[in-house]
Chain A
């Protein structure tokens, strides 16, 4: 059995009955008539290797998993695309990366064995440890905040803010400068070797800290540990938690209090946290506990629209259309702010908002896009 046949079996793509539900719901297929998830699967089943070499469509997929959710035969399309991309890169079919690939390079550089200054955000008032039960995986939010300083500099504040929230609840998390990027972007842009390198370093590093719980503020890191690391290495001996879940536990124990507010927000389910990892309720419960009014967008939870770009590859006209559609929905709710956990969603939406020539008038989509963790930190009632 060839590698391609193997993952056609494993992802269930073989079960595809060509009903076309995926294609009718796919946001990319809606905008680009040449693209169809069903077609990619059919081509692969026919075993046309030359097709994979030339096919640019596998990079057009935004891996939002709407198709996975709706498929009556439970075909794992995004898993299929992920594996297909690794094969394609091996054959020389590479993606067009945003920023000429600076994000991927930056992430690969973290794994090169030098002494990183990864905790540059750590100020004296924040309490952290070298060993302990709770590890906070900061991810690359701080670095992305530097790289996209003109669009989303607020991302630089995420790690410090998350530690501040944890400190307020009496928790001193472990953070490490030996942490490397989680490898999400490598895996989804087909660089499996680089991904495995990053994964092994991270798992080794977390073992050394002796952590029992690993908390993520970034949905991509959460998904990558939860699904991909455990898929490659088997079950981890630590618990993998998203910050929303972790904070809800603390709130229930009465350890966190929030300032009173009359703000109205809307919440964007990023695809990694929502459809990929199935976390829908916790962020909503969190807003409820904070006393913030939530107005849902027309399509939310399983049906949430996507920011249009994955792993910083293939940002194109369709991506901008998707961003515009989402911002239109957000604006229509009448909320002051759109919150999301995913740093990349923040970048992509702000990218559209900061464009000189927008596909639509600014006032129709003009809503503040903000990171959820930063929002929580701002509303924290700090200890007396």
Chain B
């Protein structure tokens, strides 16, 4: 039997979360290799389309990670990301994709352990949810 390994697309902001992921790596923290990280300059760069397209192409989960509120390198990009992610969650629910498959986390450059933990429990959650409903037909 083939066990289900979720595929996560993780959008990490350049200034905090990508560095956080880097720290998790250089600190040799263990976490599942389920994420494909895409670096964006700011979580505010994220458009609903990036998330929708990731799901359309077969992602089981999408993680959006940015600086903590108030720490954004571009002042308020993460606040925009928050609004967009919330709206996209509502849309995903209507489309029949469980909105728990989309996650927004604030991970700073110093929080390597938070990055590893997030990966760990997001992967576990997705294993419980099973493969994305959009994948079955492909």
Contacts and interface: CB of A to CB of B under 8 A. Distances in A.
A101 B53 CA distance: 9
Contacts of B124: none
A102 B54 CA distance: 11
B70 interface: no
Interface stretch (A66-74, A108-116, A284-292): A108-116
Interface in A131-167: 142-143, 146-147, 149
Given A99-B47, A100-B47, A109 B52 contact: yes
Nearest to B95: A109
A348 B124 CA distance: 42
Main secondary structure of the interface of B (DSSP, over half): helix
B97 A146 contact: no
A147 B95 contact: no
Nearest to B57: A105
B25 interface: no
Nearest to B50: A100
B49 A114 contact: no
Interface in B14-53: 47-50, 52-53
A102 B47 CA distance: 8
Interface extent on A, as a size class? 20 to 34
Contacts of A101: 49, 53
Interface stretch (B3-11, B71-79, B110-118, B129-137): B129-137
B104 interface: no
A149 B89 CA distance: 13
B77 to A, nearest CB: 16
Interface string A59-103: 000000000000000000000000000000000000000011110
Contacts of B95: 106, 109-110, 114, 116-117, 143
Contact of B87 (A108, A113, A120, A146): A146
17 contacts: A99-B49, A100-B50, A102-B48, A105-B53, A106-B52, A110-B95, A112-B56, A113-B136, A113-B137, A114-B97, A114-B133, A115-B133, A116-B96, A117-B96, A120-B93, A143-B91, A143-B94
Interface of B: 47-50, 52-53, 55-56, 87, 90-91, 93-97, 133-134, 136-137
